[in-house]
Amino acid sequence: MTRLGESVARVSELLTQDLSSDKAVEQLLTETEARRSLDLTDLSAGEQAELIAGRAVELLPSPEGLAERITEARKAGRGLVVKLGIDPTAADVHLGHTVPMIVLSRFQRMGHEVTLIIGDVTAKIGDPSGRSDERPPLTDEDIARNLAGYRDQVKPFFDFDRVDFRHNSEWLAGITLPRLIGILSQVPASALLQREDFRNRLAAGHGLTMSELIYPVAMAIDSAEISADIELGGVDQLLNMQMGRKVMEIHGQRPQLIATMPLIEGIDGSGAKMSKSKGNAVALASTAEDVFGKIMSIPDRLMLPYLRAWTEWTDAEIDVVSARIEDRSLHPMDLKKVLAGEVVSALHGVPAAMAARTGFVAQFSKRTFADVEALPRVGLAEHGEETVATVLTKVLEFTPSASAARRLAKQNGLRIVVENGEGQQALLVPESAVVRPLGEVLAECLVDAGVGRQEGDVYLKAGRKLARLDGR
């Protein structure tokens, strides 16, 4: 039996146990977290291809084609050259960015050669995929700063010490006009203009620059320069990666295989892709408690996609818990706590995941908030004159913007909670109150509810996030 097979056998046994038990969950997280560094070189070519295909939206031309190429590479005494291109466009990284890195880690642990292409030239052009307008170009300073932040935040999911870093300025900065024209002359303009985002922009009368048209070709030259066997990317990059196959053929090379990764839906369940700008992302720099709470806030329907995206569980293991949810032998809340623990353990370790689990249970499953450790506090003497939106966004950082705070209140997700020896009383904060001073809103809520100012502890609850209000 392979090392992965032995781990699957142990986890399969744990998945049949009571997953509301801290002991069972800690054993499960310890086993699955160890899998993130598990040596996978003893898997057959077919098993390796199956493991990659299980996390891809598409594996082109086919999983069998990947298994065949792995076999050929082994016979030649080498691993596959696996490519991922990164245009370092932002310093802040969220869970959505880690999806291809987890698959790359599997390739790495299978014994293949991972190459990260840092798009220091293509980032200055700007990837037009899915955009309604041209992206502003980045400077060298922007790229260096963003790359440093990206590498530091993603490293829990990927071993950067076992990767070949290449900057595409190595070849693109010195490409001659005759060579570029020679490549472009063999690329039909229709292949570039078939992109839906390009067609939509042209139909709407928006501009489309030549640099954006050339972007897919420049990205494709990267594949030819490193003789890639397979390239990973989001499903929105499919046409760019297919251009890589075309340019490799122009260079007389065997075209690369393509593995497209899913674009993960954000935690708010709106259907939109995870994005910091939409306020529906989980930042990798977040605390263990914040990550756990955000995962616990997702709709139940996102649990299985998230398990596939961010854990080392196999499809068979995910099928086990899915079946248990169906036959009601496993409560969805218990599975969600396991999922939240998986994400936290990847970022902060199993002990931190178990501590966050304990804190969450104390905060939301017990009847008293006083049991919660390290609860943020807001002093009314200092912040009572600030608006509720300001406190939520700048003091507590519970919401990314004032508009998000208003949206939370509109959805009845913002409350003042008074807790005393007789229990809790949750007082709804209306949307109109978000732009008013916190102290004023608190006083009105207490008066309307007939609650005295000294009748208990008072908390501000924003969705699943909680802070204590001091100094009434």
pLDDT tens digits for range 202-232: 777 777 777 778 888 988 999 999 999 999 9
C-alpha to C-alpha distance for 220 and 192, rounded to whole angstroms: 12
pLDDT at 55 (0 to 100): 92
Candidates 54, 104, 43; CA nearest to 228 is: 104
Candidates 348, 349, 352, 321; CA nearest to 335 is: 321
C-alpha to C-alpha distance for 375 and 21, rounded to whole angstroms: 24
Q: Encode pLDDT of 60-92 as tens digits.
A: 999 999 999 999 999 999 999 999 988 766 667
**CB 51, CB 31: distance < 8 Å:** no
pLDDT at 370 (0 to 100): 66
CB-hemisphere CA count at 13 Å for 103? 29
Q: Per-residue pLDDT for the chain (472 aa), expressed as one digit of tens each?
A: 999 999 999 999 999 999 999 999 999 999 999 999 999 999 999 999 999 999 999 999 999 999 999 999 999 999 999 999 887 666 678 888 889 999 999 999 999 999 999 888 777 665 555 444 445 566 777 777 777 777 778 888 888 888 998 988 899 988 999 998 899 889 887 777 777 777 777 777 777 777 778 888 988 999 999 999 999 999 988 888 999 999 999 999 999 999 999 999 999 888 888 887 788 889 888 899 999 999 998 889 999 999 999 999 999 999 999 999 998 899 999 999 999 999 999 999 999 999 999 988 877 655 567 666 667 888 888 898 999 999 999 888 888 888 888 888 887 778 888 887 666 777 888 888 899 999 898 888 888 766 655 567 888 988 778 888 887 6
C-alpha to C-alpha distance for 101 and 321, rounded to whole angstroms: 25
C-alpha to C-alpha distance for 368 and 462, rounded to whole angstroms: 17
C-alpha to C-alpha distance for 456 and 427, rounded to whole angstroms: 14
Helix (H, G, I), strand (E, B) or coil at 61: coil
pLDDT, mean over the chain: 86
Q: Which token pair is 44?
A: 């057959």
pLDDT at 404 (0 to 100): 83
pLDDT at 131 (0 to 100): 47
Q: Which residue pairs, CB below 8 angstroms and at least 24 apart, start in 352-356?
A: 352/288, 353/29, 353/288, 353/292, 354/22, 354/25, 354/26, 354/29, 355/288, 356/288, 356/289, 356/291, 356/292
pLDDT at 371 (0 to 100): 62
The amino acid occupying position 300 is D
The pTM of the whole model exceeds 0.85: no
What are the structural domains of the chain? 1-38+265-365 (1.10.240.10), 42-261 (3.40.50.620), 377-470 (3.10.290)
pLDDT at 368 (0 to 100): 64
What does 287-336 look like in DSSP terms, one character per residue?
A: -HHHHHHHHHTS-GGGHHHHHHHHS---HHHHHHHHHHHHTTSS-HHHHH
